[in-house]
Amino acid sequence: MMSPEVGHFALVLALALALVQSVVPIWGARRGDAALMATASPVALGQFAFVTLSFVVLTYAYLVSDFSVENVFQNSHSTKPLIYKISGVWGNHEGSMVLWVVILTLFSALVAVFGRNLPLTLKANVLAVQGWITVAFLLFILKTSNPFARITPAPMEGRDLNPLLQDIGLAIHPPLLYVGYVGFSMSFAFAVAALIDGKLDAAWARWVRPWTLVAWIFLTAGISMGSYWAYYELGWGGWWFWDPVENASLMPWLAGTALLHSAIVMEKREALKVWTVLLAILTFSLSLLGTFLVRSGVLTSVHAFAVDPERGVFILAILVVFIGGSLALYAWRAPTLKQGGLFAPVSREGALVLNNLFLTASCAAVFIGTLYPLALETLTGAKISVGPPFFNWTFGPLMVPLMIAMVFGPFLAWKRGDLAAVAQRLTLAFAAAILATLATYAVTTGGPVLAPLFVGLAFYVIVGAILDIAERIQLFRAPAATSLARARGLPRAAWGAAIAHAGVGVMLLGIVGETAYKQETIVQMRPGESIAVAGYDITLQGLVPVEGPNYRDLVARLTVREGGVDAGTLEPAKRVYTARAMPTTEAALKTRGMSQLYVSPGDPGTDGSIALRFFYKPMVLLIWIGTLVMMFGGLLSLSDRRLRVGAPKPSARRVAAAVQPAE
């Protein structure tokens, strides 16, 4: 039953169903045939079942260490802990593509199950578009990346998973990221379906927003998780490297964030329709581009790509067909869509347009920085590097106006706002910003001159978000009971927006703390020697060899005292994974409030000493806590009645609550 061939066959069956889903529903929609359109749902569910079966079979092969399957042989080992046997399934190219399609068909299945309130033609078209994507990726897997290929005779032992991936952070990072990437296929499918139908209204935006929000939350989680993993696992203390692979996930995030905001304008005011559709297409296109960049090998070397181009060319073809096709469809059909609601430049809509402008411009900066070296090398053969300094110079400045504007946005009225009045209501936020800036100047010595200003900006964003809520519930201006009632009646989406915005401020605070005020000490230590770092006294007790399940550690055992009081131990290690004889660096961390002491070991010397690199990273945890706050805001917003999938009409309670002034 669990023979790998079953998994392979299930993929082929899923492909057959995907072909049906690509053609029949949309044909039914053109002819107005309800029976044909109705095939979409069961076919989508069937596909999901078959792809999942295939994934389960692959996972089973990993669990029982069936090394006759080449994919298992290459990426697993019989002594590997259970959790990494499972995560090994997607820790490689073939398996990760199967996971990609599992998630894709899961989304189709969700539309089939929860999309009962969707107009029949829209649902049929959306599922058909999803079907096209599924066909493309199933073909890709079956043609170029079959995870079920066998080897005879079967080897006795596997080659083990890359040790860096044997980490809980990396076990869950790819699935999160993929749900994000693939989730944007929903916005894409809705956009293309709307273009095919030529019908686009506020209801469309209301259907698209929850899907976009789900994808956004997961993508945020995936990026954040990846960043924290790199921080503690790679062992040199950085949390964002502007690596092309990271950029590949940041681009859809930026475009997706813009899409979330423009969809608000479309839902509330029926404006920005055409733009929202374009953003939906672009966001998923960037997800596809990310998949291409990572999966084609083009990043490692343009030449490697040219030498073994099978996979790369296939994904490139998918890219061209989907991006080119959808943009062509857009160019052809978008002019037929009616533009709605006019608004003055200074208004809520105007602020959201500004948000979109800066987010897409920053996305463009990341895009060109990531692809320019590839393009230049392909065209002229010249090799250049585009590294962190470039992105800090281009991306950074674009974020500042965005953060200044994002506080104003929620305060501005729809259609026509009053900037001076809003500035007046934000007095407290400005005061907090100035106070924080001055306090930072007073407290810190050294650090870049501009850093305190960014601390001020962070406080301005956070206090601005709090004021937004305070204003809406008339805190301290109405009796407490009234404020409480208003707080309860406030739509969850409003809470979510304010909280997510505050999260941005929290994250900025962490970023400034880490980049501007980190302290670094590099020493060669012998056992018994001590060193003082950021108020800690650290003593090296000794170097101790430790045996792990599938690795050997050389642990530098450090005792830490703070103000003469024992504050525990730190045990950074040089680790060697035995199966691959591959060395890694295991950093050790000590947390104090939101700050961390970070120790990374170097090679032991011949005289019993070891090189140690200590970092003190003030406020560093706020970077990831900020993203958690953003995700929480997203979740709250998602739980808003209005956005609940299949609940397009306002409930009775909402209508009653609507007595309060419009947001």
Rule CB under 8 A: is residue 349 a binding residue for other proteins? no
Nearer to other proteins, 238 or 309 (CB): 238
Query: Which of 38, 53, 120, 294 touches other proteins by CB under 8 A?
Result: 294
495/482 Cα distance (integer angstroms): 17
Nearer to other proteins, 233 or 468 (CB): 233
Q: Tell me whether residue 86 is exposed, middle or buried, using C-beta atoms within 10 angstroms of its C-beta: 0 to 12, 13 to 18, 19 or more.
A: middle
Query: Which of 205, 351, 398, 455 touches other proteins by CB under 8 A?
Result: 398
Rule CB under 8 A: is residue 385 a binding residue for other proteins? yes
Residue 600: which of 613, 590, 583 has the closest Cα?
A: 613
Query: Which of 83, 149, 384, 478 touches other proteins by CB under 8 A?
Result: 384
Rule CB under 8 A: is residue 342 a binding residue for other proteins? yes
Rule CB under 8 A: is residue 578 a binding residue for other proteins? no
Tokens of 315: 């994904």
Nearer to other proteins, 10 or 525 (CB): 525
Rule CB under 8 A: is residue 369 a binding residue for other proteins? yes
3 SS3 class: coil
Q: Which residues contact 384 (CB under 8 A, 6 or more apart)?
A: 372, 373, 376
Query: Which of 49, 361, 402, 487 touches other proteins by CB under 8 A?
Result: 361
Mark the segment that binds other proteins (CB under 8 A) among 71-79, 120-128, 263-271, 287-295.
287-295
Rule CB under 8 A: is residue 447 a binding residue for other proteins? no
Rule CB under 8 A: is residue 269 a binding residue for other proteins? no
Nearer to other proteins, 268 or 613 (CB): 613
Binding mask 128-167 for other proteins (x = CB under 8 A): ----------------------------------x-xx--
* Smallest gap from residue 443 Cβ to other proteins (A): 23
Query: Which of 574, 590, 617, 642 touches other proteins by CB under 8 A?
Result: 574
Tokens of 585: 């660096």
Rule CB under 8 A: is residue 390 a binding residue for other proteins? yes
Q: Which residues contact 144 (CB under 8 A, 6 or more apart)?
A: 310, 311, 314
Binding mask 177-216 for other proteins (x = CB under 8 A): x---x-----------------------------------
368/376 Cα distance (integer angstroms): 11
Q: Which residues of 365-403 are buried (b: 16+ CB within 10 A; e: fewer)?
A: bbbebbbebbeeeeeeeeeeebeeebbeebbeebbeebb
DSSP character at residue 415: S
Mark the segment that binds other proteins (CB under 8 A) among 314-322, 560-568, 608-616, 649-657.
608-616
516, 451 in Cβ contact below 8 A?
Answer: yes
Query: Which of 77, 85, 123, 173 touches other proteins by CB under 8 A?
Result: 173
DSSP character at residue 650: P
* Smallest gap from residue 236 Cβ to other proteins (A): 5
Rg (CA), the chain: 27
Cα end-to-end span (Å), the chain: 58
Mark the segment that binds other proteins (CB under 8 A) among 425-433, 501-509, 597-605, 633-641.
597-605
Rule CB under 8 A: is residue 174 a binding residue for other proteins? yes
Query: Which of 94, 246, 514, 553 touches other proteins by CB under 8 A?
Result: 246
Query: Which of 116, 383, 477, 526 touches other proteins by CB under 8 A?
Result: 383
Rule CB under 8 A: is residue 549 a binding residue for other proteins? no
Rule CB under 8 A: is residue 658 a binding residue for other proteins? no
**Contact positions with other proteins (CB under 8 A) in 78-107:** 91
- For 79-97, the DSSP string reads TS-HHHHHHGGGSSHHHHH
Q: Which residues contact 61 (CB under 8 A, 6 or more apart)?
A: 2, 4, 7, 69, 71, 72
Q: How many other CB atoms are there within 10 angstroms of residue 320's CB atom?
A: 10
Residue 174: which of 222, 133, 138 has the closest Cα?
A: 222
* Smallest gap from residue 618 Cβ to other proteins (A): 19
Alpha helices by DSSP H, 117-243 = 120-144, 168-197, 202-233
Binding mask 524-543 for other proteins (x = CB under 8 A): x-------------------
What's the Cα-to-Cα distance from 514 to each of 331, 372, 412, 589, rounded to whole Å? Answer: 45, 29, 33, 15
Mark the segment that binds other proteins (CB under 8 A) among 185-193, 322-330, 364-372, 454-462.
364-372
Query: Which of 319, 376, 402, 475 touches other proteins by CB under 8 A?
Result: 376
Sole residue written with tokens 């989680």: 221
Nearer to other proteins, 100 or 495 (CB): 100
β-strands 588-592, 519-525: how paired? unpaired
DSSP character at residue 324: I
Rule CB under 8 A: is residue 236 a binding residue for other proteins? yes
1/259 Cα distance (integer angstroms): 45
CA 448 to chain centre: 30
Question: What torsion do the CA atoms of 36, 42, 43, 46 make, to the nearest 10 degrees?
Answer: -170
* Smallest gap from residue 256 Cβ to other proteins (A): 15
H/E segment holding residue 269: helix 244-269
Q: Residue 297: which region, alpha, beta or left (left: phi > 0; alpha: psi -120 to 50)?
A: left
Nearer to other proteins, 152 or 445 (CB): 445
Rule CB under 8 A: is residue 341 a binding residue for other proteins? no
Tokens of 369: 């920085």
* Smallest gap from residue 600 Cβ to other proteins (A): 7
Mark the segment that binds other proteins (CB under 8 A) among 114-122, 469-477, 582-590, 633-641.
582-590
328 SS3 class: helix
Q: What residues are paired with 612 via a beta bridge?
A: 523, 601
Phi then psi for 69, rounded to 5 degrees? -90, 120
**Contact positions with other proteins (CB under 8 A) in 299-318:** 299-300
Nearer to other proteins, 379 or 652 (CB): 379
Q: How many residues in the chain?
A: 663
* Smallest gap from residue 539 Cβ to other proteins (A): 17
Nearer to other proteins, 74 or 249 (CB): 249
Mark the segment that binds other proteins (CB under 8 A) among 32-40, 172-180, 327-335, 617-625.
172-180
Query: Which of 172, 245, 337, 419 touches other proteins by CB under 8 A?
Result: 245
Tokens of 379: 């065209």
Rule CB under 8 A: is residue 394 a binding residue for other proteins? yes
524/288 Cα distance (integer angstroms): 47
Rule CB under 8 A: is residue 321 a binding residue for other proteins? no
Query: Which of 389, 448, 549, 608 touches other proteins by CB under 8 A?
Result: 389
34/206 Cα distance (integer angstroms): 24
Q: Tell me whether residue 563 is exposed, middle or buried, using C-beta atoms within 10 angstroms of its C-beta: 0 to 12, 13 to 18, 19 or more.
A: exposed
Q: What residues are paired with 559 via a beta bridge?
A: 539, 569
Rule CB under 8 A: which residues touch other proteins? 91, 162, 164-165, 170, 173-174, 177, 181, 226, 230, 234, 236, 238, 241-246, 248-249, 290-291, 294, 299-300, 342, 345, 353, 357-358, 360-362, 364-365, 368-369, 372, 376, 380, 382-390, 393-394, 398, 522-524, 574, 582-585, 600-603, 611-613
